[in-house]
Amino acid sequence: MAQLVNLTLLLVMILLLSLFSMDAAAKPSINRPQRRYNPQTIVYIKASCQTTLYPNLCLRCLYKFAKSNIQSPQHLAHVALSVSFSRALYTRDYLLQVGKQFKALKNSNNRRDYVVLQDCLKQINDSVDQLGFSIKELERLNKIPNTLINDGVLWHISNVETWVSTALTDARTCVDYFPGHRMSKMKATIRGKVLNVAQVTSNALAIFHKYAAKYQAAAQANKRP
N-terminal to C-terminal alpha carbon distance within the chain? 104
Query: One-letter amino acid identity for 224?
Result: R
Assess contact for 164 and 131: CB atoms under 8 A: yes
Q: What stretches of 12-126 adopt beta strand conformation (E)?
A: none
CA–CA separation, 76 and 82 (whole Å):
10
What is the widest separation between alpha-carbon atoms in the chain? 104
Those residues whose C-beta lies under 8 Å from the C-beta of residue 201, and which sit 6 or more positions away, are: 84, 88, 127, 131, 164, 167, 168, 171
Return the HEC string of 91-112.
HHHHHHHHHHHHHHCCCHHHHH
Q: What is the separation of C-alpha 200 from the centre of its chain, rounded to a whole number of angstroms?
A: 6
Assess contact for 91 and 123: CB atoms under 8 A: no
CA–CA separation, 68 and 78 (whole Å):
13
Query: One-letter amino acid identity for 12?
Result: V
Q: Which is it for the CA torsion 113, 114, 120, 124, positive or negative? A: positive
Q: What stretches of the chain adopt beta strand conformation (E)?
A: none
pLDDT for the residue numbered 223: 63
CA-closest candidate to residue 197, choices 132, 122, 128 = 128
> Could you give phi then psi for residue 147, rounded to 5 degrees?
-80, -10
Assess contact for 73 and 210: CB atoms under 8 A: yes
pLDDT for the residue numbered 100: 86
pLDDT for the residue numbered 220: 67
Encode the chain (225 residues) as per-residue pLDDT tens digits: 444 334 444 444 443 344 334 333 334 444 444 557 788 888 899 999 999 999 999 999 998 888 878 878 889 999 999 999 999 999 999 999 998 887 777 666 677 888 889 999 999 999 999 999 999 999 988 887 766 666 778 888 999 999 999 999 999 999 999 887 777 888 899 999 999 999 999 999 999 999 888 777 766 666 655
pTM here is 0.79
Q: Which is it for the CA torsion 21, 23, 25, 30, positive or negative? A: negative
